Chain A
Amino acid sequence: MQITINRDGQNYGPYTVEQLQQMLQAGRAKLTDLANYEGAAEWVPLSQIPGVTQAQSTPAAAPIDADTYVPTGQHEHEFRIECKPDFSFLTVQVPASQTLKVEASAMATMSTNMVMKTKMKGGLSRFLGGENIFINEFTAQAGPAEIGIAPGSPGDMDHVFMDGSSEIFLQSSAYVASSMNVDVDSKWQGFKGFFSGEGLFLLRCTGQGDLWFNTYGAMIEVPVDGNYVVDTSHVVAFTSGLEYNVESVGGLKSLFLSGEGLVCRFHGQGKVWIQTRHPMAFANWAYPFRPQQNN
């Protein structure tokens, strides 16, 4: 049986049932695509073609690519993260009249019924101090809406469901998006100063709901039980329950000569997320390629 499919007015195929099953598995065809086979009077959704749905009913999960992440554990909103780990891109389904908090300028695509409001966290003084984070609020009006979110840096992304019992500390540029009931506190000063010299400050995330954050480069999740050391510029996030000090690696000689700069020594029990690259190292590498000033 040769089947032609039609999506958005465009015909594709014809394909055999086996080919279509493979395409469904790979996510290249959808059960909602219109399909027509020779001798059939009209176009029907692909799900109604005999032989196609049976194969689909066995694996419960929707067909996804290997580099796509859909939540398997607890979550508030339906979402998927595609093109992991190098070019992670987040798509969230927001139910009618609900709101999602998103890092400013990270919105790439959205439904037309999504309405945006800009919130400045921290106020003007912190804005002038270069320590601000703008968060936009996207509300789905008159029905559910979808939003596609692309962070500034190419890299990996992770999702954490916060159950209200613990806190997550985020390096500020790592914040991507969160549920309304997750409070993102940039005024909080607790660990500030520890990161001096690295140009970083931390956000404290509390409350209940989804939290998404990203890295430059790939992300590694390290469970800490006891004691673990991370280069300060590679820290992305960590859970409450971990205490830390900033120090140099090795002895005094290593401080100046090892090329490792400062490190965070975490202790306690929890999780640390680290990034395999960092923007400052890339900027330093690019420096010699800058043109010379003409005087």
Chain B
Amino acid sequence: MQIDITHRPGNSAAKVSLQAGESITAEGGAMIAMSGHMQVETTTHKKGEGSVLGALKRMVTGESFFINHFTPAGAPGEVFFGTALSGDMMEYNLNGPGLMVQGGSYVASAPTVNMDIQWQGFGKALFSGESMFLIHLSGSGPVILNSFGAVYPIQVNGDYIVDTGHIVAFEESLTYEVSKVGKSWISSFLGGEGLVCKFRGQGTVWCQSHNAGSFGTALGPSLKPR
């Protein structure tokens, strides 16, 4: 499997070249184009196993309920993936510690990567209006993630705070706590900062330069009421 991320950073697309019989799993709706002999299988779970519960949990994170598996039959093939919003993509080779991915940042992964959903508490998520669901990726193999705007890594050594709307992914080696940024809920809310994630330990956090929720909020008043 070969992954090339093209047209960075504004309108990135991921080109995945596969050997005959090799597969890649992607979020529903991510496919832009592909070789004619690509076989597509739609499931609610990881290829060959999984459960409906997993799919339900995935739907709650803002990911599609269904995931697609792409496999070229008989000869090598290619598939392009894109996203709805403008922005960058990154490839990460999972090997050892797992990765926590913000709901909505997941694009695709090798079939050797396991997906599981972690839920961060309903009340907090409602309060902030930001999705506080994380996809836990474990196992080994390549993973493709997308960001709204540019994506940049931050090496955490000790502790560090990131706004929940700017998190793309982080290494499992970090412990995290979702909390308010100010002293009280009121000041956090009025300050417009909502919820932040406090990371502790050693590891990498990948951040996106822009917060999609903030962009939507800025756009909203100019749109026709529904």
**Which residues of B are at the interface with A, using a C-beta cutoff of 8 A?**
6-7, 10-13, 27-29, 31-42, 64-66, 68, 80, 82-86, 216-217, 219-221, 223-226
Name which residue of chain B comes closest to A282, CB basis.
B84
Residue pair B40, A228 in contact (C-beta under 8 Å): no
Query: Chain A contacts of B32 at CB under 8 A?
Result: 220, 230-231, 234, 274-276
Point out the residue from A228, A254, A292 that lies within 8 Å of B33, measured CB to CB. A228
> Is there contact, CB below 8 Å, between A227 and B40?
no
Q: Whole-angstrom distance from the CB of B170 to the nearest CB of chain A?
A: 24
In the complex, which residues 191-229 of chain A have their Cβ closer than 8 Å to any Cβ of chain B?
217-218, 220, 222, 226-229
Residues of B contacting A259 in the complex (Cβ-Cβ under 8 angstroms): 27-29, 64, 66, 68
Count of inter-chain pairs, beta carbons less than 8 A: 137
CA A254 to CA B40, docked complex, whole Å: 8
Q: Is A85 an interface residue (CB 8 A)?
A: yes
Whether A258 contacts B40 in the complex (CB less than 8 A), given A290-B225, A291-B225, comes out as: yes
CB < 8 Å neighbour of B11 from A155, A257, A294: A155
Partner of A229 from B33, B64, B85, B224 at Cβ < 8 Å: B33
- In the bound assembly, the distance between CA atoms of A227 and B40 in angstroms comes to 15
Are B7 and A250 within 8 A (Cβ)? no
Name which residue of chain B comes closest to A219, CB basis.
Answer: B7
| Number of A interface residues in the complex (CB < 8 A) | 46
A286 beta carbon closer than 8 Å to chain B: yes
**For the complex, what is the distance from the CA of A249 to the CA of B10, rounded to whole Å?**
28
User: B219 touching A234 by the CB < 8 A rule?
Assistant: no
The 4 closest A-B pairs by CB, nearest first: A227-B36, A259-B28, A218-B7, A259-B29
Instruction: Report how far A226 CA is from B80 CA in the complex, Å.
Output: 18
Apart from A218-B12, A254-B40, list 19 A-B contacts with CB within 8 A. A86-B11, A218-B11, A229-B33, A231-B31, A234-B82, A249-B31, A260-B31, A260-B68, A274-B32, A274-B33, A276-B12, A276-B82, A277-B84, A281-B29, A282-B85, A285-B85, A290-B223, A290-B226, A292-B226
Pairwise interchain contact B80-A274, C-beta atoms closer than 8 A: yes
B223 touches A289 (CB 8 A): yes
Q: CB-nearest residue of chain A relative to B41?
A: A250
A72 at the interface (CB under 8 A from B): no
* Distance of A293 Cα from B226 Cα, bound (Å): 6
B40 CB → nearest A CB, Å: 4
CB distance from B147 to the nearest CB of A (A): 14
Query: For residue A86, which residue of chain B has the nearest CB?
Result: B10
B35 and A257 within 8 A (CB): no
Chain A, 255-295, CB within 8 A of any chain B CB? 257-261, 265-267, 272, 274-277, 281-282, 284-294
Select one of B33, B82, B216 contacting A288, CB under 8 A. Answer: B216
B66 touching A257 by the CB < 8 A rule?
yes
With A228-B36, A257-B42, A260-B68: A293-B31 Cβ-Cβ less than 8 Å: no
Q: Which residues of B contact A217 (CB under 8 A)?
A: 7, 11, 82, 86
Decide: B7 and A267 in contact? CB cutoff 8 A: no
Chain B proximity of A229: nearest CB distance (Å): 5
Q: List 6 A-B contacts (CB under 8 A).
A: A227-B35, A234-B33, A274-B80, A276-B13, A292-B226, A293-B226
Bound CA–CA A285/B146 (angstroms): 15
Q: What's the least CB distance linking A281 to chain B, in Å?
A: 4
Nearest Cβ on chain B to A62's Cβ, whole angstroms: 25
Task: Write the nearest CB–CB distance from B88 to chain A, whole angstroms.
Answer: 11
